[in-house]
Structure 1
Amino acid sequence: MPRATFGPEARLHSPSEYAAALKGRRLARGALFVLHWAPPLPGDASGLARLGLVVPKRHAPRASTRNAVKRVVREAFRQRRHALPAGLYVVRLQSRPAPASLTALKAAARHEADAHFKRSPR
């Protein structure tokens, strides 16, 4: 089994990659996140899943909240990356999280991210 890492080859980098993923299929929608997917772009020889995150300030005004959400979603993706089909994945925070402790927010975000990645096509 390949190592579960999250290096630069596992990330989306350019705006065109984000745009392609956001124009693709919406795989899952929950209380916090929407998961978008698009097939790999022509010329992408990696053959693996790649992740991009959209966590806007209007939904998470505090930097600590945005960073915690991104860290948790990246970890959930990293652990499932090799089981996911190749393509571009974008997880977008769609609503303001309910007021809660950072620990409770991390737990809720992880639970929802895991559920979304489980529902993605095989």
Structure 2
Amino acid sequence: MHAQPTGKILPMQRATLVPEARLHSPSEYAAALKGRRIARGAFFVLTLARQGDAGPQALARLGLIIPKRHAPLAVTRNTLKRVVRESFRHVRHGLAPGIYVVRLHAKVPPQSLRSLKTLARAEADTHFKRAAP
């Protein structure tokens, strides 16, 4: 909590993705995976499905597929999701409206979480930069 000069204590605001910017149901993922592949790297494949109704409410949305067979440890899967979400959050307003699905396609080699975060963030940033108009 932050103390304001007036003496009031305000709760800290979190910088997270709003629920409208994420995919929730399997049918949304199925439709999104029929889109075209934008980028492929050492870890991730980025797929984009354009939204048909590009009205004023249209926005860039994110879906993540991090399978257990490629990242057996939960801590690894959660770290990858956190890193990709953070990368997407920084560029979301600069992306064209559509559904962006990031899928882990290769087995994660044994390494420290710090080095994994660095590699995953660099790759995610590169993919989203490539997807920007």
Q: CA RMSD in A?
A: 1.7
Measure, in 2, the Cα distance between the counterparts of 1:97 and 1:15.
24
TM-score normalized with structure 1 length: 0.91
Secondary structure of residue in 2 paired with 1:114: helix
Measure, in 1, the Cα distance between the counterparts of 2:22 and 2:56.
14
CA separation of 1:54 and 1:41: change in aligned 2, threshold 3 A = farther
1:97 and 2:108 equivalent?
Answer: yes
Secondary structure of residue in 2 paired with 1:92: strand
Q: How many residues align?
A: 119
- How far apart are 1:85 and its partner, in Å? 0.2
TM-score normalized with structure 2 length: 0.84
Query: Share of identical aligned residues, percent?
Result: 64
Which protein is richer in helix relative to its size?
1
Query: Where in structure 2 are the equivalents of 1:23-102 lying within 5 Å?
Result: 23-40=34-51, 42=53, 46-102=57-113
Look at both structures and tell me which one has the larger radius of gyration over its CA atoms.
Answer: 2
Kept after mapping to 1: 8 A contact 2:87/2:124: yes
- Bigger drift between 90-99 and 68-77 goes to 90-99
- How far apart are 1:46 and its partner, in Å? 2.5
Secondary structure of residue in 2 paired with 1:23: coil
Measure, in 2, the Cα distance between the counterparts of 1:27 and 1:110.
17
Specify which structure has the bigger relative contact order, considering alpha-carbon pairs within 8 angstroms and separated by 6 or more residues: 1
Pick the aligned partner of 1:8 from 19, 26, 29: 19
Secondary structure of residue in 2 paired with 1:47: coil
Secondary structure of residue in 1 paired with 2:101: strand
Consecutive unaligned residues of structure 1, counting only runs of 5 or more, are none
Secondary structure of residue in 1 paired with 2:63: strand
Measure, in 2, the Cα distance between the counterparts of 1:36 and 1:100.
27
Consecutive unaligned residues of structure 2, counting only runs of 5 or more, are 1-14
Which amino acid in 1 is paired with 2:45?
V
